[in-house]
Amino acid sequence: MFKLGWFVNGYSPKTWTGPWAGNHASEWTGPNFWIDVARGLERGGFDMFFMEDSAMVEDTYGGTAETTLKYAEMAPKNDPMPLVPLLSTFTRHIGIVSTISTIQYHPYMAARLGATLDHLTEGRVGLNVVTSVSHRVAQNYGYERHFDHAERYQMAEEWMDAVNALWGSWEEGALVHDLEEPRFADHKKVHPVDFVGKYFRTRGPLNTVPGPQGRPVIAQAGGSAPGRDLAARNADVMLGLVKSPEDMVEFRADMDRRLREYGRDPEDLHIFFMAHAFIGEDDAAGKERYQRSVDHRTHPDEIEKRLWTMSYTSGGEIDYAKYDRHGPIPTELGNGETTTHKLMLAAAAEGKTLYDLVTGPMNYGMDFVGSAKTIAAQMDEVMKSTERPDGFLIQGIDDELSRRTLTEITDGLCAELQRQRLIRTGYSGRTFRENLSNWD
């Protein structure tokens, strides 16, 4: 058996054009669409709903925000934190992971918010800890520019140390609830943390009680060496970006080594590998859907959006609008997602043009194509070949998410996976963390 998560690029417009969009262009801001998504995923046996976040209106590409706002590329975007308790009210089991940035949330605010959400969700919240990518995000929070890649991971390690200290500031047994004396809590078991670091300081103790999980499930998505170390020290869940079963094995082995170096059991980290399901009524329909996605790469709108994405993932340092699309791929390395840009440099070393790159496969993760039965068999074969089943983190094709695509996955693919006993058919754990460790 293996696990499933769903990845969505933020509390933002998803499929807002086309025949299956409905009134999503305005509906996305309210609760109903996201409630339908969360309930559908739980019905399908998903372990978690994973939501990215960012806080900027990007204007690197072409030196303007026109492309950003023309296509709704990562803006507008609402704060996902208020969605967490709302979605937990309409579901009973699925874990709900929201992104939290180390430059946007002071450790005390983050620890207090995380504990509060753990209570409100009855133990089903997860926090995806990120360092943020763009200079524009940093500038929105009072910095002149973003920290260099290596330094922001040093900052993130310190941030995690601080929030963990705050979550641990209440000892086990601190809550007394003695109605006769009366005594709510034992003050001798609640301690200041007096945390002083290079980037953060906080006295503590936390002024709220530990939640059902003790601390929220911690997720991490960075694939660089510092990102992997951050996950190895702190994470319960990790996003893996690989292209093949062999890469999965290598990724898992590298993380196992890092976990042991930090004195952790490798079984404590659950890696969800990014995947895309090109599903159809039969194999021919699935292949046709895949081919439509391939053909769409050469559409002018898609090329512009892909160049925009490259400008954003450079950390706001490289404007790909200024380069000849049929010329060589620029080899400068930005300060953003270094793993992404190293892949681009590898393409440059192969002699590819910028046009070759943006019209080629840029989806992260593995592609599965065919009917529900065929894709289920493909997923099973991949997991068996790894000898160490973790899970897949499914993302909509070309970031598509509509009620139609949701139903295709949950009532098509997931139903088949459940029939073959490849994913859970129920939830025996009380909390998100417990369900991650249970194979129902």
- Examine the domain organization and report whether 261 and 354 are in the same domain: no
pLDDT of residue 422: 97
pLDDT of residue 348: 67
**pLDDT at residue 111 greater than cutoff 80:** yes
- Examine the domain organization and report whether 348 and 378 are in the same domain: no
Q: Is 309 annotated as a binding residue?
A: no
pLDDT (mean) for 73-100:
97
Q: What are the DSSP E strand ranges found in 294-432?
A: 366-371, 391-395
Q: Is 119 annotated as a binding residue?
A: no
> Measured between alpha carbons, how far is 244 from 401 in angstroms, rounded to an integer?
24
- Examine the domain organization and report whether 25 and 93 are in the same domain: yes
Q: Give per-residue burial for 371-381: e unless 16+ CB within 10 Å, then b.
A: bbbbbbbbbbe
Q: Is there a contact between 111 and 60 (Cβ–Cβ < 8 Å)?
A: no
In-domain check, residue 288: no
Average predicted confidence (pLDDT) for the chain: 94
The residues, ordered by sequence, that sit 6+ positions from 434 with a Cβ below 8 Å of its Cβ are: 123, 428
Query: Which tokens in the block code for residue 240?
Result: 């893996």
Query: Which tokens in the block code for residue 418?
Result: 């459940």
List, for residues 241-266, the tens digit of each pLDDT value: 998 999 999 999 999 999 999 999 99
Q: Is 53 annotated as a binding residue?
A: yes
In-domain check, residue 240: yes
**pLDDT at residue 92 greater than cutoff 80:** yes
- Using the structure block, give the residue that is written with the tokens 């892909």: 306
> Measured between alpha carbons, how far is 147 from 139 in angstroms, rounded to an integer?
11
Q: Is 276 annotated as a binding residue?
A: no
**pLDDT at residue 199 greater than cutoff 70:** yes
pLDDT (mean) for 165-190:
97
List, for residues 360-417, the tens digit of each pLDDT value: 886 678 999 999 999 999 999 999 988 777 999 999 988 889 999 999 999 999 999 9
The dihedrals phi and psi of 44, each to the nearest 5 degrees, come to: -80, -5
339, 358, 377 — which closes off a domain? 358
Q: Is there a contact between 252 and 390 (Cβ–Cβ < 8 Å)?
A: yes
**pLDDT at residue 349 greater than cutoff 70:** no
324, 341, 358 — which closes off a domain? 358
Domain CATH number, residue 382: 3.20.20.30
The dihedrals phi and psi of 34, each to the nearest 5 degrees, come to: -70, -35
Integer CA distances (angstroms), 142 to 109, 145, 196, 367, in order:
17, 9, 21, 40
- Examine the domain organization and report whether 218 and 323 are in the same domain: no
pLDDT of residue 105: 98
Q: Is 224 annotated as a binding residue?
A: yes
List, for residues 205-253, the tens digit of each pLDDT value: 999 999 999 999 999 998 889 999 999 999 999 999 998 999 999 999 9
List, for residues 33-55, the tens digit of each pLDDT value: 999 999 999 999 999 999 999 99
- Examine the domain organization and report whether 310 and 239 are in the same domain: no
% of the chain with per-residue pLDDT over 90: 86
Q: Is the bond leading into 216 cis (omega within 30 degrees of zero)?
A: no
- Using the structure block, give the residue that is written with the tokens 């973003």: 146
Which domain does 322 fall in, by range? 298-358
- Examine the domain organization and report whether 205 and 315 are in the same domain: no
Q: How many domains is the chain partitioned into structurally?
A: 2
Q: What is the DSSP letter of 168?
A: T
The residues, ordered by sequence, that sit 6+ positions from 349 with a Cβ below 8 Å of its Cβ are: none
In-domain check, residue 423: yes
Alpha carbon distance, N-terminus to C-terminus of the chain = 9
pLDDT of residue 316: 87
List, for residues 266-297, the tens digit of each pLDDT value: 999 999 999 999 999 999 999 999 999 999 99
SS3 8: strand
